Amino acid sequence: MEYTPHARPDLTDTCLPDTRVEIIDSICRWAFGLCDATLQSGSASSSVLWLCGGDGSGKTAIINSLAARFSTLCSLGSIYAFNQGHPAETHPGNVFSTIARGIADYDPSYKDRLVAIIQEDTALRRTTDCKTQFNSFVTAFSTEGGDASGRCLIVIDEFDKSGDEATRGELLARLTEDADRIPPGVRIIVASRFESDIKDALHTNPPGVHVVMMEDIPLDTTLRDIRLYANHQLCGVPQFASDPVLFEQSVERIAQGAGRSFRRAASLCKAAVRSIDPIRALESALNRNERLEPLRAEVLRQQLDLAGSGYPAGEARLHAIFRIISSARDPLPLRVLLGLILEKADDELEEDIFLPRDTAMRLAAVLGKT
C-alpha cells in the first residue's frame, strides 16, 4: 500500500501548558460525541471538524496537542501532516492509504478487515486514487456494539499545503461531500488556511462537517495565552527576570504587538532570547513590528488589493514577506527584498510572481527604508 513515513509530525511541538485550554477541551468533547457549549449546536454529530486560520495562528500546535492527548488515551488512529520538506512524499494520493496503515497498527480488528480487502487486489494496494482509497479504506472502519463516536481520531494537518486546487480537489471532496459516509466510530480533524477552494467547499455546509475558525476564538483568551507564552520565554533571560516591572511591560508589549499571531510572538521573543543585549533587541523588534503593521495593511488595502483579487496565496505570500522582514536582525538589502517579493511562492504554482514587477520594485524600495 502507498505509505509515507514523512507525514508524521513531531508531537512534542504542542501548546504550552495552560494555553489554548478552551478550544482543545471543546474539540476533545466533540471527538467523543459530546455536546459543547462553545461549539455550534449539532456539531456533536459531525464526523469532520475543520480548523481554519491564518499562518501563525497556532493551528498546528493545537492539532499536535490534540493528537498527543488522544495518543495517551490510545485513541489516536493516525496523524497525517503535509510536509513541505518532503512534498513528493506527502500528497493526496497517499493520504488515506497512509492513514489506513496507521489505524491498522492501532486496531487489530481493522487490520484484519484491511488485509481481507487488499490481499487479493494488487491494483487496490497500489492505487493513488483518492476516491478509491476513501471508499475502500475509510468506510471499511467500523465499530462493533453500536455507536462509539470518538473511538478513533484521525488528524490531517496543513491541508492547504497538499498542492494546488486541482491537485487537492478530490481529497477536499472526500472530506466534505462524503463526510456523512464516515463510520460513527471515527472523527477526523483537518487544519488549514481558509483558501478559496476550501472556503467554497465549506460554505455549502456539507452534512457531517463542522467548521471552527481561529479568528472566532475570543481575543482576550488569545492574548492571555500569548502572555503566558511570552512569560515562559522571557523568564529565563536575566535582564528581564531581574526587573519585574520591565518584565511585565515587555510581556504585555509582546502580546499587544503579536495580536492573534503566535508566530509573531515567537519572533519577538526569539529576537530577545538570542541576543547578547535582549532588552535592546526586543525594543528594536517591537519598533520594526509597529512600523511594518500599518504599512502592510495599507499595501493590502490600496495598492495590491489582494484580499479581493482571487489570489489568497498572494496575500499569504505578502504576510510571509513581512514576517521575514520584521524578524531580521539587520536591515535587508534592496536586492534581497526584491528577491523575496518576486521569487516563486510555491513550486506547485505556475505564476512566478503575484505582483506586477513595477509594483514589486516600489514595494521593495519602501520596505528598504522601513
Measured CA to CA, the distance from residue 244 to residue 165 in angstroms comes to 50
Residue 163 sits in the same domain as residue 280: no
Classify the C-alpha dihedral 12-14-18-24 as positive or negative.
negative
**E strand or H helix at 291:** helix 278-298
Residue 35 sits in the same domain as residue 155: yes
Looking at the 3D structure of the chain, how many domains does it have?
2
Nearest alpha carbon to residue 349 among 292, 323, 302, 311: 311
Q: What secondary structure letter does DSSP report for 138?
A: I
Residue 233 sits in the same domain as residue 357: yes
pLDDT for residue 336 = 59
Residue 81 sits in the same domain as residue 201: yes
Residue 207 sits in the same domain as residue 283: no
Residue 325 reports pLDDT greater than 90: no
pLDDT averaged over every residue in the chain: 81
Residue 68 reports pLDDT greater than 70: yes
Residue 155 sits in the same domain as residue 243: no
Residue 102 sits in the same domain as residue 132: yes
Ramachandran area for residue 42 (φ above 0: left; ψ -120 to 50: alpha; else beta)? left
Measured CA to CA, the distance from residue 167 to residue 87 in angstroms comes to 12
Nearest alpha carbon to residue 333 among 290, 291, 369, 285: 369
- Of the ranges 138-142, 183-187, 365-369, which is most confident? 183-187
Measured CA to CA, the distance from residue 302 to residue 315 in angstroms comes to 13
Instruction: Specify the CATH number for the domain of residue 50.
Output: 3.40.50.300
Residue 152 sits in the same domain as residue 291: no
Q: Residue 15 class from Cβ within 10 Å (0-12 exposed, 13-18 middle, 19+ buried)?
A: buried
pLDDT tens for each residue of 284-324: 988 876 766 665 555 555 544 444 444 455 555 566 666 55
* Cell numbers for 159: 491541508
pLDDT tens for each residue of 95-128: 999 999 999 988 888 899 899 999 989 999 999 9
Do residues 237 and 281 make contact, with C-beta atoms less than 8 angstroms apart? no
Residue 264 sits in the same domain as residue 168: no
Residue 198 sits in the same domain as residue 252: no
Residue 77 sits in the same domain as residue 113: yes
Cα-based distances in Å from 179 to 58, 193, 202, 216, 309: 25, 19, 11, 23, 30
Residue 236 reports pLDDT greater than 80: yes
Measured CA to CA, the distance from residue 54 to residue 259 in angstroms comes to 12
Domain extent, residue 260, equals: 219-368
Say whether 157 sits in a helix, a strand or coil.
strand
Do residues 236 and 84 make contact, with C-beta atoms less than 8 angstroms apart? no
Percent of the chain predicted with pLDDT > 70: 73
Of the pLDDT bands very low, low, confident and very high (cuts 50, 70, 90), residue 145 is very low
pLDDT for residue 288 = 78
* Cell numbers for 287: 519598533
Q: What is the CA radius of gyration of the chain?
A: 22
Task: Tell me which of 165, 187, 216 is where a domain ends.
Answer: 216
Q: Which amino acid makes up residue 264? A: R
Percent of the chain predicted with pLDDT > 90: 51
Measured CA to CA, the distance from residue 283 to residue 59 in angstroms comes to 28
pLDDT for residue 168 = 95
Measured CA to CA, the distance from residue 129 to residue 137 in angstroms comes to 12
Q: What secondary structure letter does DSSP report for 88?
A: T
Could you tell me where the DSSP H helices lie in the chain?
Answer: 21-31, 59-72, 95-106, 108-118, 122-126, 130-133, 165-176, 196-203, 219-234, 238-241, 244-258, 262-273, 278-298, 312-327, 334-342, 357-368
Residue 179 sits in the same domain as residue 328: no
> Which residue spans within the chain are E strands per DSSP?
48-52, 76-81, 152-157, 186-192, 209-213
Task: Tell me which of 196, 216, 236 is where a domain ends.
Answer: 216
Task: Tell me which of 171, 197, 216 is where a domain ends.
Answer: 216
